[in-house]
Amino acid sequence: MDDWEGPIDTGSIPEDGSSFDVIVVGGGPSGSAAASYNALNGCKVLLIEKEVWPRDKICGDAVGGKSLSHVKELGVKEMVEKTPHFMVDSIVFGSANGNTVQVMLPQDEFEKKMAGYSLPRMQFDYMMFKRATEIVTEAGGSVIQGFNVKEVLDNEGAIVGVSGSFGKRSSESPTMSFTAPLTIGAGGYRCPVATKLVEGVHSEPMRDDDHYCGGYREYWENVGGFDGSRGPIEIHFIDEVIPGYFWLFPVKEGVVNVGIGMVISEQRKQKGADKSLKKKQRWVIENHPVFRERFKEARIVEGSQKGWQLPFGSPRKSPPSYQPRRSAGAGVMCVGDAASLVDPFSGEGIGNGLVSAKMTSRWYFDKDNHSGGFPEEEAVAYMEDLWGTLGKELTNSHRLQKVVKWKKLMNWFVGKASRKEEMGDMLTGMIADKEAQKALWSPWFLFKTILLP
């Protein structure tokens, strides 16, 4: 049995009514990292996960460069490298008329193995959670899996803990409660902690269909055009899928993650069967002149056909409070998808999940000063810093997401980029350093790279 296939021993279950410094709800990458960072900071942490490991998470499975410093810092990188994975050295972008441009990731980062991986989340999340279990228990905390948080407890609007039970149905086991001065919401796009904070305590909107994206994923074996365990991942803005995109991300030798993503409000505008991402994907694989050929000899991995949602971090037009939406309050901070931080251009969410996870431990929560409850002022500081750190790149990615809808512009841009080295280099910079995306909006850049022959 491989390192990521067996059960994870999470140790003994804390008694009903136990207190901790920090409770983390959700054991995905953001929750596992938040639990680890807070435990490394000396806190007694309770990490709670609803599922029992190993568990699947629907995703494109790309773990980009931004994630890797955290993955390394937490001691998970070596674990990842010992299991089957794909090393991403470039990204191929394809436009509606069949033009493609291959954007290389910076070679030095690739050599230092900092460019990016892709591997099934079944594996990656398992290793993040397993490592978190070690770190949390060594620091005197507890980890429980198969425990569904159903209620988030508050005292006059300040979050003070959670309650729930083991098993999928309430009748399966008695309700248990746990308390802490800080609860971290890391339960993904339907996180009960985020819902309580945003809708329950502050009566603000939790979801916005212009900023939520539907995603559909399948695993396929033997897809044409991929070879070995190193190379490009591919994103195609093809006619039948725009305003969404079609991706092909190899995850290990011989296996490719194939999927489609589209903003939910755009998906609703599609007609009839076209609303279904699954049906769109089937059409592309069976009928698109390029992909039909590449899937000629391919086989689907049965059971892998699943959909999920991505809460984007794009700025809301008139946010009721903080951008992209409220992510903290008295007694609570949210991280990753629970704080709606997915990149609206690339669909990457793991990196921002890990960045926000670290922020909860390093700057804001002090278990001695905040033992009476994590204060509202610190929550505001966290939200301001979160947007200060990620706001620019999320805003730029949102602009890019809008641009790809213009088919003619994309056809022309990709065609030109494939012929013009300078534009390829600029795209590399943009992928490696989101700040460099700003270049795209500078008049000098537009003049030099697009208008000049």
Ligand X SMILES: Cc1cc2nc3c(=O)[nH]c(=O)nc-3n(C[C@H](O)[C@H](O)[C@H](O)COP(=O)(O)OP(=O)(O)OC[C@H]3O[C@@H](n4cnc5c(N)ncnc54)[C@H](O)[C@@H]3O)c2cc1C
Binding site residues, ligand X, CB under 6 A: 25-31, 48-51, 57-62, 148-149, 186-188, 192, 215, 217, 259, 308, 310, 336-338, 342, 347-351, 353
Q: How far is the CB of 304 from ligand X (least distance, A)?
A: 12
Closer Cβ to ligand X, 101 or 310, answer by number: 310
Query: Measured in whole angstroms, how far is the alpha carbon of residue 159 from the centre of its chain?
Result: 25
Nearer to ligand X, 141 or 188 (CB): 188
For ligand X, the closer of residues 91 and 423 by Cβ is: 91
Handedness of CA 80, 86, 90, 95 (dihedral sign): negative
Least distance (Å) between residue 363 CB and ligand X: 19
Considering the complex, state which of residue 77 and residue 99 has its C-beta at the smaller distance from ligand X: 77
- Which residue is associated with the tokens 């300040």? 158
Residue 288 Cβ, how far from ligand X at the closest point, in Å? 20
Calpha distance 224→393 (Å, rounded)? 34
Give the Cα separation of 397 and 105 in Å (integer): 18
Nearest residue (CB) to ligand X, 25 versus 101: 25
CB closer to ligand X out of 160 and 310: 310
CB of 330 to ligand X, least distance (A): 21
CB closer to ligand X, 61 vs 378: 61
> Residue 341 Cβ, how far from ligand X at the closest point, in Å?
7
Residue 444 beta carbon to ligand X: minimum distance, rounded to whole angstroms: 32
Residues in the chain: 453
CB of 244 to ligand X, least distance (A): 11
Give Cα separations from 403 to 112, 172, 211, 415, 441 (angstroms): 33, 50, 15, 15, 12
Q: Find the residue with minimal CB distance to ligand X.
A: 349
Query: What dihedral do alpha carbons 123, 127, 129, 135 form, nearest 10°?
Result: 180
